[in-house]
Amino acid sequence: MLRRYLRLLGVRLRASSLLAMQYRADFLVDGLISVFWMITALVPLFVVFQNAQRDIEGWSFGESLLVIGWFTLLQGILEGAINPSLTGVVEHIRKGTLDFVLLKPADAQFLVSTERFLPWRITNVFAALVVFGYAFHRLGRVPSLLGVGISLVLLVTSVLLLYSLWILTVCAAFYVVKVDNLSYFFTSIFDAARWPAPVFRGALSFVFTFIIPLAVMTTFPAEAMLGRLPWSALGWAILGSGLFAFLSRQMWKHAIGRYTSASS
């Protein structure tokens, strides 16, 4: 079963790549635009630290760059692998074409989640590696192998959290159909992940840790690379991402059960 779905995922990735490479000029332009937006994401950080020769909430400029690197990496995954497919679900529901997906001999959630990819967003991965390299150059050190290993585990939990939150957002389309504003709201909220979590206080700190766990997605991996993430935080991140994945799956099943198709 797993091999079958991996083969299907490979076919869909290849189809998306061929479609993207059909117009190579557009592919390159889109990649350059992606790099441009990544650079603009660094501007607020340079403005904040321009005349500040001190740490902000315990985070130096080099350490904050690590958070930016994780934000850049996850933004590429979000906009290249998660958004393109899941935003299409809303159109499927609105037009009634979700029927064709449900009739196919494969899991509907897998099919709608792998419908389309934007390969040129891989530029974010290379950009993130450049930011990581520059950050550690500023810090005058290199990450430990253990820190890199833990941050890779947190990359998996972060992607799972992002995907689960998007599934929960998409499920709302089964009830209110038009969730464009909700998706824009989620994207805007995700922009806050470019800042270290201690910057946020009070209610925002609680929301960005437990409700929309942006701190787990970018600040935790950065702390892991710095070798100062408590083991308990890693455990809670794994447990929390598993809980979000379980809730989103159950919500998807409930929403599909409520779907009445275009012909009803």
Q: Write the pLDDT tens digit of every residue in 194-239.
A: 888 888 888 888 888 888 888 889 999 999 999 989 999 999 999 9
Q: Which two tokens stand for residue 129?
A: 């590696």
Q: Which residue has the tokens 């689960």?
A: 164
Q: Which residue has the tokens 């599934």?
A: 167
Q: Are 69 and 135 in contact (CB under 8 A)?
A: yes
187 Cβ partners below 8 Å, 6+ apart?
none
Tens digits of pLDDT across the chain (264 residues): 778 888 888 888 888 888 877 777 777 777 777 777 777 777 777 777 766 566 777 888 889 889 989 998 998 898 888 888 877 787 777 777 788 888 888 888 888 888 888 887 888 888 889 889 989 998 888 888 999 999 999 999 999 999 998 898 888 877 776 666 666 777 778 888 888 888 888 888 888 888 888 888 999 999 999 998 999 999 999 999 999 999 999 999 988 887 776 555
**Cβ neighbour number for residue 95 with a 10 Å cutoff:** 10
Q: Can you give the pLDDT at residue 52? A: 56
Strand partners of residue 56: 59
Report how far residue 9's alpha carbon sits from residue 80's, in angstroms, rounded to the nearest whole number: 15
Report how far residue 129's alpha carbon sits from residue 213's, in angstroms, rounded to the nearest whole number: 23
Q: Can you give the pLDDT at residue 208? A: 82
Q: Can you give the pLDDT at residue 95? A: 76
Helical packing angle, 24-49 and 61-77, nearest 10°: 150
Cα of 167 vs its chain's centroid, Å = 12
